[in-house]
Structure 1
Amino acid sequence: MSTIMLSALRMTYSKAIVFRAVYYSSQPEHASKTINKVVNVAIIGAPNSGKSTLINNIVERKICAASNKVHTTTKLVRAMCFQNDTQIIFLDTPGVATEKEQKRYKLPESMINACHKSLRCADVIGVVHDISNKFTKDNLHSDVVNMLHSTQNIPSFLIINKIDRLESKRQLLSVIRNLTNGMIAGNPVQDPDTDSRKKKRERGYSHFSDIFLVSALNGDGVKDIKDYLISNAKPASLHFSPEEWTDQTPESLIQEAVRAKFLDFLAQELPYNLKIELEYYEDLEEKIICSVAVECPSDRIARLISGAGGGRLQQIKSQTRNDLVDLFKKPVVISIQLKVKPKP
């Protein structure tokens, strides 16, 4: 087995390292004009594989909206962190979506373009794969593989996520063989049954330079990814100041945080039919005050969302507030009001 494979397998859940990223907020003003190092990282993968959660854990801010449903991210979002004179710029992309899914979930047509745009901007590509899904754990999404083949000149690495949910670590080597077509950094993964392996169809991508085993939700293993990205950064002027941590406006981040919580709390396609609009926003020195209106298709759905005595809506508001505090690093006062869509 190659040295790279041994390095990838050294991380087990029982010995995982929890990483706490450091955000430098007090860099001198002239730092943005100094030659430092920069790396642009496109994070791609199937829907709900944990892309946004991984980025949030590394930058230690809940910048990228994350929920337990597919297609939470619908546009390209940049999240940045600065460490060791190096700026890492993450490009969080929407999960790949079929035309049928776009219609079912009322997704914007710009989603597909967002994925390809992030690849064009990337110095390195990270592919997040959910190993806990028993139906897809041995196969990379075909659209992800196609994107990788179209950008084969850009280095890429594989992030096997949700490793803590894998029932048996004995499956791990077999899964890795399938996802890499038995090749890592140009070296074959040793397989005692080489002939039978050659007869199998290719399930993954053959040109990954490295593999990382992580639990993005718990933070296990992500320090290795950050160290890897810092080592791949190139000398350049900073694209953003060290104090900046996203290219999104606060108003947009608030709307996306509310949307993600409705996705968490509501069943099936219901949350995809809601229209969320920020009505008021004020950033004071000591706190943030905001008000969000959520337009519902009917009065019946509004009552369903509110729950008995308004209990469900209060839970949504409480958890949204917690996420926004984690995002802005200051107290947040938020009001969420349900409105019924006017009849034509």
Structure 2
Amino acid sequence: TQIVFVDTPGFLRTTSAKQEGLMRELMVTAASEIDDADYTIVLVDAARNMDDDLREALTTLMLRAIHARGRVEMQTLEEGEEENQFTLKHAHPQDDEDVPREKFAIVLNKVDLVNPKKKMLTLATELGVIGDNCVKYGREPPSSHEEELAKFASLSREELFAIEKQFPPVFFISALEDDGVQDILNHLLRLATPSEEWTLEADQVTQMSPVERIEEVIREKLYRSLHREVPHQIEQMNRTYRT
């Protein structure tokens, strides 16, 4: 089984990104990489206070995860087909699934920094409600409680079950203390699906070149010095590289 993780830039609303002076390319990258993912982990800093901007950003992120097309693979050529012919297919065609599966999970990180713990449970409940509502209503929430009741009253038990199967799970972790991380990995392994070919070779840990890996190490050191989530506005120049 192979699981490929794609770490996107921090996802922000456009207005928040402008306030922090972030480049448009970073926003586009975060959104496009979600569209190509089979599954999205919505990572939230549990020690951060929730505000309207964060709620809106998380809602947008969850909706993108729900509508993500998933990875695209080349189909194996049938006998008699020319070598330059190929067909792209989605790894998870929704129409072929008996029961739709969840498309994202909510992960609360830094839970060791949250006190009292009741605050963390309140946050988890709020995020769970946001995630469930994204699954139930998509981009068009009901305008009233009566409209909500009318919508679900017309659904069969099987249809309600299919919706509930897509509700996102909530995980509590402390990456610093390696607490709860294995639970997420086990969950991803249970969701893994067959693939015609591996994305990376068995002994390949990244698609980055050696120079790109060095650049990431430098960025990590800058982060530790600046205490910023991501130092986007810093540009580095590598003059020499030796092996």
Q: How many positions carry a matched residue from both structures?
A: 179
1:242 Cα deviation from its structure 2 partner? 1.1
The SS at the match of 2:6 is strand
1:261 Cα deviation from its structure 2 partner? 1.5
1:208 Cα deviation from its structure 2 partner? 3.7
1:173 Cα deviation from its structure 2 partner? 3.0
Query: Of residues 217, 225, 229 in structure 1, which corresponds to 2:188?
Result: 229
CA-to-partner distance for each residue in 1:316-339, whole Å, 9 max, x for gaps?
xxxxxxxxxxxxxxxxxxxxxxxx
* Structure in which a larger fraction of residues adopt helix: 2
Q: 1:102 to 1:149 in 2, by over 3 A?
A: closer
Contact 1:119 1:151 in 2 (8 A): yes
What does residue 119 of structure 1 align with?
34
Q: 1:139 to 1:175 in 2, by over 3 A?
A: farther
What does residue 176 of structure 2 align with?
217
The SS at the match of 1:91 is coil
1:262 Cα deviation from its structure 2 partner? 2.3
1:168 matched to 2:82? The reply is no
- TM-score normalised by length of structure 2: 0.62
1:139 Cα deviation from its structure 2 partner? 8.6
Structure 2 unaligned spans of 5+: 69-102, 135-144, 146-163
Query: Of residues 145, 148, 156 in structure 1, which corresponds to 2:62?
Result: 148
Give 1:173's aligned amino acid. L
1:239 Cα deviation from its structure 2 partner? 1.0
Give 1:235's aligned amino acid. P
Q: What is the alpha-carbon distance in structure 2 between the residues aligned to residue 144 and residue 263 of structure 1?
A: 23
What does residue 97 of structure 2 align with?
none
Q: 1:258 to 1:174 in 2, by over 3 A?
A: same
CA-to-partner distance for each residue in 1:77-121, whole Å, 9 max, x for gaps?
xxxxxxxxx111111011124556656665432111111221121
Query: Of residues 190, 208, 231 in structure 2, which corresponds to 1:248?
Result: 208
CA-to-partner distance for each residue in 1:115-137, whole Å, 9 max, x for gaps?
1221121111110111112x228
Query: Of residues 158, 161, 171 in structure 1, which corresponds to 2:106?
Result: 158
Give 1:276's aligned amino acid. Q
Contact 2:65 2:104 in 1 (8 A): no
What does residue 240 of structure 2 align with?
280
Contact 2:16 2:53 in 1 (8 A): no
* Structure in which a larger fraction of residues adopt strand: 1
